[in-house]
Amino acid sequence: MNYIEEGVKRKLVNFDSEQRKQITFLHQNVKRNYTQPEIKVQTEAFLRLIIDYGYSEKRIKQFVPVTMGRDIKEADIIVYNDDECSQPYIVIECKKQDITDAEFNQAVNQAFSYAYALAGSIKYIWVTNEIKNAYYKVDKNSDEKETIPNIPKCGSNEILKYLYVKGGGKGDNGYFDLRTITEDELTKIFQAIHQLLWDGGKRDESEAFDEFDKVLFCKMWDERAARKTGEPYSFQFYKEDEPEEKLYKRIISIYGQGRRKDANVFSDDIKIDVQELSEIARYLQGINLSATDLDSKGKAFETFMGGLFRGKFGAFFTPRPVVKFIVDVLPIKNDSKVLDTSCGSGGFLLYALDKVRHLAKEYYEEGTIEHFRFWHDFAEKNLFGIEISNKISRTAKMNMIIHDDGHTNVIQSDGLVTEKDLRNKNKGFQYGTFDFIITNPPFGSEIKQTKNAYFSLYKVAHKQVDWLDMDGKETLRNAQSTEVMFIEQDYRFLREGGILAIVVPDGILTNSSLQYFRNQIEEWFRIVAVVSLPQTTFTATGAGVKSSVLFLKKWNLSQTDDIINKKGEIKQELLSSFEYEWKLKEWEKTKKELQKKKIEELKTILLVNSVAEVKKSEEYRKFNDKLNEDFAEKIASLKDDLRRKYIYEQKKRLLDYPIFMAIAEQIGYDATGKKIPQNDLIMISEELKKFIENLE
């Protein structure tokens, strides 16, 4: 519910203009500056007291002076038990959203001090910053702060055993269902929880994130547990003795149930204490993560963890506009088998899942078993990811769970290991079976042949013999770039006709030293499209490599063999027509004759008989260097002629096909990550989608 809109509708509040800078509480005839964060929280609390709890605005006062010894302070809201407002009943303390937990606890103490200072009948306290709520029962004869699930509704002194039940009742029976929240609220909640767990260095940031993941897992698991309408959720405070300890035990129990069903998600115990878990529950207990918009969840999750991964792991998220563009143009369906061999936090997989979820709506009504099976079977059986970092792979799984699952086939592994090694972890990782691979492999690093046993198994790990090198032998490289090796691995995973969409550094497309690899690509794939991205694409995430998106469609084996055979035929014809081998031998013979003749001349001039002495002389060295240089130039010129002719013949005789080319100058945000109106990928997406649909 939008409490502000409802409050305006009921004539409880009003604004001075559309800009909403000033708000008027109509019954009290009090104006306040609505641009102040605390006033926004106070306004919502005030309206909830009336709309959800049934209290009359006549019994609610705001900004109430409270005498504290010699000082007079102002309580945010007090609810009274009578129309004359002589019997204070509930104290509400409101704080802005972005306060720390220490500041929130100070607010709790402040509310209790108001309760003790007010005469008579204060029974309850509610402390809120909108994204976190704490409720207490006041006993002036005790120093204990008794936690309760909620404050009572008007006309009832009963404290309900719990607050949140499936189906709720919109507060009519005192119970509430879980509520969906905005991206901004969710991001603030995630950040506040992480700050609480990190606590200025109490834990390593990645450890704090690990514990955060575990608690989110429990929250999601509880939301999805089978329960009838009216049955309470477990992830919330109950009215009972030792509520914090009992809540802790329930959440640990939920975690145990989830681990037994899927031990791969988390392999170790929850390592946070009772108090920490209680504070986290205050943030999470009333929200519905499962029902919150998928895109909002994803943005909140990635905004929250982006800095951690850049700083701790050196990992970079693929910007959402790029991920969306790639997934949008591909004809991914519910029976497509999809893989990301470097999945990071799972962005590509999530968008593929979301695409199939939207596709399900075209065939079935939401909420039906057919609709659910359409997308869930895809998530469970056809969506695969590999991530080398154990922590990031678990984050990917958690991200998938938050987005309604699809984590089952995400594994932690080096994405370049053998098929056998991958299938030992999940049998679905079978070469030649994937319809689509969508990925952004790591740039700028190398795989060393001395450190990786699988290195020699890759074709790109070997230096192929140049067709113009008559005496050359294939050798093993010392190292190869990760992006090159991932393209070969992706080729292996694709079925014939499958499509690879991969973000690559522009060096793959332009560096002369990688021409051999571009030649290999054209034998493995039909080049479908090249879309150039702006230089600033990855600047906001901490990287500055100029990159492009390459779309490649795997040839069938007969097409690859045909290309290789035609290339071989062209080479043999050229070698023969240019008399290449004969010329090299003749030139070598001529060179030796000239060297022999020069040696005889220098023997006479230098008055020596030894060939060895002649070869040591300055005169012979200069002659021989010049001779070698001349012949090398002659051979190089011949090779250049052959290569030019080879390229010409290739263009003339190999299959010619169109390639979609586009340049995106802007993709919806600038170098700082700030959103801008222009996103060229939207227009390019529409055209490329048509191009791919019409591929033969």
Look at residue 197 in the predicted model and tell me its pLDDT.
Answer: 87
Phi-psi category of 579—alpha, beta or left, where left has phi over 0 and alpha has psi -120 to 50? left
Residue corresponding to tokens 């010894």: 69
Look at residue 259 in the predicted model and tell me its pLDDT.
Answer: 80
Chain mean position to CA 302 = 6
Q: How far apart are CA 361 and CA 367, in angstroms?
A: 10
- Find the helix packing angle between 482-493 and 515-524, rounded to 10°: 10
Q: Encode pLDDT of 658-693 as tens digits.
A: 999 999 999 988 887 778 899 999 999 999 999 999
Looking at 2.60.200, 3.90.1570, 3.20.20, 3.40.50, the CATH number of the domain 3-147 comes to: 3.90.1570
What's the whole-number mean pLDDT along residues 81-85? 90
3-state secondary structure of 276: helix
Write the DSSP string, 295-332.
Answer: HHHHHHHHHHHHHHIIIII---PPPHHHHHHHHHHS--
Q: What are phi and psi of 185, to 5 degrees?
A: -60, -45
Q: Encode pLDDT of 259-283 as tens digits.
A: 887 776 677 889 999 999 999 999 9
pLDDT interval class at 460 (50, 70, 90): very high
Q: Which residues pair with 80 in a beta bridge?
A: 88
Q: How far apart are CA 342 and CA 693, in angstroms?
A: 26
What's the whole-number mean pLDDT along residues 102-121? 88
Q: Encode pLDDT of 283-332 as tens digits.
A: 999 999 887 776 677 777 766 665 555 545 445 578 888 999 999 999 99
Domain covering 294-555+660-693 assigned CATH 3.40.50.150 in the classification = yes
List CB contacts of 223: < 8 A, sequence separation 6 or more. Answer: 178, 233, 235, 288, 289, 290
In the structure encoding, which two tokens stand for residue 348, read together?
């590509």
In the structure encoding, which two tokens stand for residue 265, read together?
């998600």
Look up the pTM and report it. 0.77
Task: Kindly report the three-state secondary structure assignment for every residue of 84-143.
Answer: CCCCEEEEEEECCCCCCHHHHHHHHHHHHHHHHHCCCCCCEEEEECCCCEEEEECCCCCC
Q: What percent of the chain has pLDDT over 90?
A: 61
Q: How far apart are CA 394 and CA 404, in angstroms?
A: 15
What's the whole-number mean pLDDT along residues 499-512? 94
Look at residue 313 in the predicted model and tell me its pLDDT.
Answer: 46
pLDDT interval class at 631 (50, 70, 90): very high
Query: Range with the lowest mean pLDDT among 145-149, 335-339, 518-522?
Result: 145-149
What's the whole-number mean pLDDT along residues 599-606? 90
Cβ atoms within 10 Å of 115's Cβ, excluding its own: 23
Contact 266, 394 (CB under 8 A): yes
Q: Encode pLDDT of 545-595 as tens digits.
A: 899 999 999 999 999 999 999 999 999 999 999 999 999 999 999 999 999
What's the whole-number mean pLDDT along residues 427-432? 96
